Amino acid sequence: MPMVAGYGHVTGTRPGPCVISGTQTGCDTPRPSAQTSIYNFAFAILGVASPNLQRRVYAFCMPGESNGDAEDDRTGLLPPESAYYAHDYPQPETVTNLIKRVRALTLQLLPVEVAPEAIEDPTSRVVTPQVINAYIEAAGDFVHALPYALLRSRKEFTWDAYTNPADYGENMGRATACEVLARRVVHQAPSDKTVLMLSTRFRFKEVDEGVSEKASALELAIDSHCTIFLSSTEAQDVVNCLWRGQLVQKHEGDHDINFVPYKQYGYDGFWAHLNPGRLSVPRYQNIFRIVVWILFLFAYSQAVREPLDKLNPKHSELDPWEIVMYVLGLAFSFDDLHKLFKLLLFVSWRTLGFWDVVSVTTDSLLTAAFVLRVVGIASSDPQSATFRLRAFQCLSFVAPLICDAEVIPVFDGFQPVGTMQICVSRMLKESGIFFGLLALLGIGFLQGLYALDAADGQNDQAHEVVHVLIQALLQSPNYEMFAASTSGQWLYYGWNVATSVILINVLVSLFASAYDDVVEDAAAEYLTYFAGKVGGMIRAPDEYVYPAPFNIIEILLIAPLESFVSKQTYATINRYVMMVLFFVPLCAIALYEAELDPAKNRWVRDLLAHPDEGGEDTPEFENPDVHAEDAAKGLAISRVPFEELVRAFPDTTRSNEALMLNEIGAMREQIKELKELLLAKQ
- 83 or 610, higher pLDDT: 610
* Contact (Cβ atoms closer than 8 angstroms) between residue 260 and residue 251: no
Interacting residues of 588 by C-beta distance below 8 A, sequence separation 6+: none
pLDDT tens for 376-412 read: 888 877 788 888 888 888 888 888 888 766 677 777 7
Asked which of 412, 447, 468 is the last residue of a domain, the reply is 412
CA–CA dist 275, 323 (Å, integer): 31
Q: Cβ of 575: how many Cβ atoms within 10 Å? A: 19
Domain that holds residue 568: 550-608
Residues 534 and 554 in one domain: no
pLDDT at residue 37 greater than cutoff 60: no
Looking at residue 461, what is its pLDDT?
67
pLDDT tens for 282-304 read: 999 989 988 998 899 888 888 88
Looking at residue 171, what is its pLDDT?
94
Helices 415-430 & 504-520 angle (0-180, nearest 10)? 140
Residues 121 and 250 in one domain: yes
Q: How confident is the model at residue 142 (pLDDT cuts 50, 70, 90)?
A: very high
* Residue 338 vs residues 341, 457, 547: alpha-carbon distances, Å: 5, 54, 12
Residues 386 and 441 in one domain: no
CA–CA dist 497, 468 (Å, integer): 14
Residues 100 and 238 in one domain: yes
pLDDT at residue 1 greater than cutoff 60: no
pTM of the entire predicted model: 0.76
- 308 or 128, higher pLDDT: 128
Residues 246 and 157 in one domain: yes
Looking at residue 229, what is its pLDDT?
95
Which residues are 614's β-sheet partners? none
Residues 469 and 582 in one domain: no
Q: How confident is the model at residue 175 (pLDDT cuts 50, 70, 90)?
A: very high
Average pLDDT, the chain: 78
pLDDT tens for 422-451 read: 888 888 878 888 888 888 888 888 888 877
Asked which of 264, 294, 329 is the last residue of a domain, the reply is 264
Looking at residue 482, what is its pLDDT?
77
Of 84-88, 610-614, 657-661, which gets the smallest average pLDDT?
84-88
Across 96-118, average pLDDT: 93
| Alpha helices, H only, 253-347 | 270-273, 282-303, 320-346
pLDDT tens for 505-533 read: 888 888 888 888 888 888 888 999 899 88
Of 44-48, 191-195, 308-312, 322-326, which gets the smallest average pLDDT?
44-48
pLDDT at residue 414 greater than cutoff 50: yes
Query: Per the structure, how many domains does the chain have?
Result: 4
Residue 389 lies in a domain: yes
pLDDT at residue 46 greater than cutoff 70: no
Residue 224 lies in a domain: yes
Q: How confident is the model at residue 541 (pLDDT cuts 50, 70, 90)?
A: low
Q: Cβ of 402: how many Cβ atoms within 10 Å? A: 21
Torsion-angle region of 18 (φ positive above 0: left; ψ -120 to 50: alpha; else: beta): beta
Asked which of 412, 441, 475 is the last residue of a domain, the reply is 412
Looking at residue 217, what is its pLDDT?
93
Interacting residues of 191 by C-beta distance below 8 A, sequence separation 6+: 1, 77
Give the single-character DSSP code of 552. H
pLDDT tens for 221-278 read: 998 999 999 999 999 999 998 998 888 887 776 667 777 888 653 346 778 778 888 8
Query: Phi and psi at residue 633, in whole multiples of 5°?
Result: -85, 0
Looking at residue 144, what is its pLDDT?
92
Across 545-562, average pLDDT: 89
Residue 660 lies in a domain: no
Q: Is 76 exposed, middle or buried (0-12, 13-18, 19+ CB in 10 A)?
A: middle
pLDDT at residue 347 greater than cutoff 80: no
Residues 291 and 328 in one domain: yes
Residue 61 lies in a domain: no
Residues 108 and 235 in one domain: yes
Looking at residue 402, what is its pLDDT?
80
Residue 65 lies in a domain: no
Residues 138 and 222 in one domain: yes
Of 160-169, 322-331, 377-386, which gets the smallest average pLDDT?
377-386
CA–CA dist 667, 123 (Å, integer): 23
Residue 619 lies in a domain: no
Across 79-96, average pLDDT: 68
Residue 616 lies in a domain: no
Looking at residue 309, what is its pLDDT?
52
Percent of the chain having pLDDT more than 70? 78
- 595 or 296, higher pLDDT: 296
Interacting residues of 240 by C-beta distance below 8 A, sequence separation 6+: 76
Residues 148 and 236 in one domain: yes
Across 208-214, average pLDDT: 83
pLDDT at residue 647 greater than cutoff 80: yes
Residues 309 and 381 in one domain: yes
Looking at residue 27, what is its pLDDT?
38
Residues 110 and 237 in one domain: yes
Residue 587 lies in a domain: yes
